Amino acid sequence: MSLFDRMVVGMLPLVPRGIVGIVASRYVAGNTVEDAISTARSLAAEGAVATMDILGEEVRDAAVAERFTLQYLQLVDAIAAAGISSTVSVKPTMLGLDITEELCEQNVARLCGHASERSVRVAIDMEDHPTTDFTLGLHMRMRERFGNVGTVLQAYMRRTLSDIEALPEGRECQIRLCKGIYVEPESIAYKGYDEVRANYLKALEALFERGIFVGIATHDEYLVDRAVEIIKRRGLEPDAYEFQMLLGVLPQLRAKILGGGHALRVYIPYGPDWYAYSVRRLRENPKVARHVMRAMIGLR
């Protein structure tokens, strides 16, 4: 990131919420579950399926974790009632991990049980490194109890290849592979752009080698192209993988993936806690943040 971009990103907290809201509306479906369902319907018309995420993380109050758990149960009901093809994605810290591991596990189990009865799959998002061991263990325990659960591995983590070796083999194991979004120490995470890409491709090969279903979650066109080559070389069928992207990011790449005949799942975040998520999206993409600044100071 250039010095100018870093400066722009640093100034984001000064931008009025209304302006962030206008630019961020492409990344967030809206405030309500109905907004998320209607976004999923529009994406379905393009040929994409969905995973829905209620915005909010790092909950430190058990009553808030309970409220989010109930909202997730309602989300599962809404997906089942709408008859759309969507999984749900959930962050362990939202369901209580920062309070106690037991509370988080109880809440995630309620969600997975409820979802399993309605044939909806759950993806447990991966957060920062202090949560990695717990999240991987939780994924295994939930799989054993309910069977409808997947999780996420981050290519920037040095441990990822050995984590793959510990996963069960076969399509029933469903793993989303992403680069990773948290700021982690160099002792445990690759930092170089090319190093992360290289580890992503090694991890992808290792997951396919074990017959695991992979959600290839990236907007990096280089990785998308390499993944397509790997899929062709291995002669993989559509039941072995899908691509995954965030709502609002690089729609032209979304069209290219769908045009190539590949399955694509779009991550649809929604809910009143949209501000923190949107600022994070803008931080990742200084070009968009630059537009926000220009709009604010009247340059367009």
Ligand X SMILES: Cc1cc2nc3c(=O)[nH]c(=O)nc-3n(C[C@H](O)[C@H](O)[C@H](O)COP(=O)(O)OP(=O)(O)OC[C@H]3O[C@@H](n4cnc5c(N)ncnc54)[C@H](O)[C@@H]3O)c2cc1C
- Stretch in the footprint of ligand X (CB under 6 A) among 15-23, 164-172, 246-254, 268-276: 246-254
When binding is defined by CB under 6 A, the residue of 50, 104, 111, 246 that contacts ligand X is 246
Dihedral sign from CA coordinates of 64, 66, 70, 76: positive
When binding is defined by CB under 6 A, the residue of 158, 205, 284, 290 that contacts ligand X is 284
**Site residues for ligand X, window 189-228 (CB under 6 A)?**
217-220
Coil, helix or strand for 48?
A: coil
The distance of closest approach from Cβ of residue 279 to ligand X in the complex, given in angstroms and rounded to an integer, is 11
- CA torsion angle 96 160 204 190 (round to 10): 110
CA angle 52, 282, 32 (to 5 degrees): 30
Helices assigned H by DSSP within 125-192: 132-146, 160-165
The reply on whether position 291 binds ligand X by CB under 6 A is no
- Residues labelled as active-site residues: 125, 176
Segment holding 50, helix H or strand E: strand 49-54
The reply on whether position 281 binds ligand X by CB under 6 A is yes
Size of residue set near ligand X by CB under 6 A: 24
The distance of closest approach from Cβ of residue 217 to ligand X in the complex, given in angstroms and rounded to an integer, is 4
Check: CB of residue 264 under 8 Å from CB of residue 258.
Answer: yes
**Site residues for ligand X, window 109-168 (CB under 6 A)?**
125-126, 152, 154
Token pair for 147: 């069977």
Q: How would you classify residue 117: left for phi > 0, otherwise alpha for psi between -120 and 50, otherwise beta? A: alpha
Place of tokens 């040095």: 158
The reply on whether position 5 binds ligand X by CB under 6 A is no
- Stretch in the footprint of ligand X (CB under 6 A) among 70-78, 105-113, 131-139, 243-251: 243-251
Residue among 117 and 222 whose Cβ is closer to ligand X: 222
The distance of closest approach from Cβ of residue 42 to ligand X in the complex, given in angstroms and rounded to an integer, is 17
Task: Give the residues lining the site for ligand X (CB under 6 A).
Answer: 125-126, 152, 154, 176, 178-182, 217-220, 244-246, 249-250, 267, 281, 284-285, 288
